[in-house]
Amino acid sequence: MDHSAVAAWRAAGEARDAAAAVAALSEDVRLISPITEQFTFDGRARVRTLLEVALEVIDEVVYTDQVAEGRTVALFYEGRLGDTRLFEAQRLRLGDDGLIREITLFVRPLPALTRLMARLGPELARRNGQPGLARLIPVTAGMLHSMADAGEKRFMPKAAPR
């Protein structure tokens, strides 16, 4: 199986080039969010909007690993959101044409996911014509991030194996 679309996707992510990333996608691509099961991003235009915002708010993307079996490829990258380290796994499914037709994202640790939500949400809401929601998301996501960050830094270390 030709994985040239995956190579283009990786290079575009590291270069923070949304247009080049979109060129690796099928017209009917579906992106499944790591944040919510309430919706997906369907079609190149919607995925492009998400990529434009994501590649602006994620401070760094460095792909570290790739595993492939047939038309399914798993990619892993490390990045930063300010001082928060982010680790993402991406399951890519390729279509008959070799382009990426489905992307499922998984993000860890929890504070990285909540910070990502706080950074992505407002701009996505603005681009969808929802300025009120764009003002509300930082408040709600900020509360979630504060709890996740406190758990990560203060409470979970106390439960570490001794």
Q: What is the DSSP letter of 156?
A: G
Rounded distance between C-alpha atoms, residue 79 and residue 88, angstroms: 8
Confirm if 118 and 145 have CB atoms less than 8 A apart.
yes
Q: What pLDDT, on the 0 to 100 scale, is given for residue 38?
A: 86
CA angle 123, 128, 133 (to 5 degrees): 65
Alpha-carbon separation of residue 117 from 20, 111, 113, 142, 160 (angstroms): 24, 10, 6, 9, 27
Domain spans in the chain, listed from the N-terminal domain onward: 4-159
Confirm if 16 and 55 have CB atoms less than 8 A apart.
yes
Task: Give the dihedral of Cα atoms 83, 114, 49, 69; nearest 10 deg.
Answer: 90
pLDDT tens digit sequence for 88-119: 999 999 999 999 999 999 999 999 999 999 99
Q: What pLDDT, on the 0 to 100 scale, is given for residue 22?
A: 98
pTM of the model as a whole = 0.92
Alpha-carbon separation of residue 24 from 7, 94, 122, 157 (angstroms): 9, 10, 27, 41
As a CATH number, domain 4-159 is 3.10.450.50
Q: Which band of pLDDT confidence, cut at 50, 70 and 90, is reported for residue 80?
A: very high
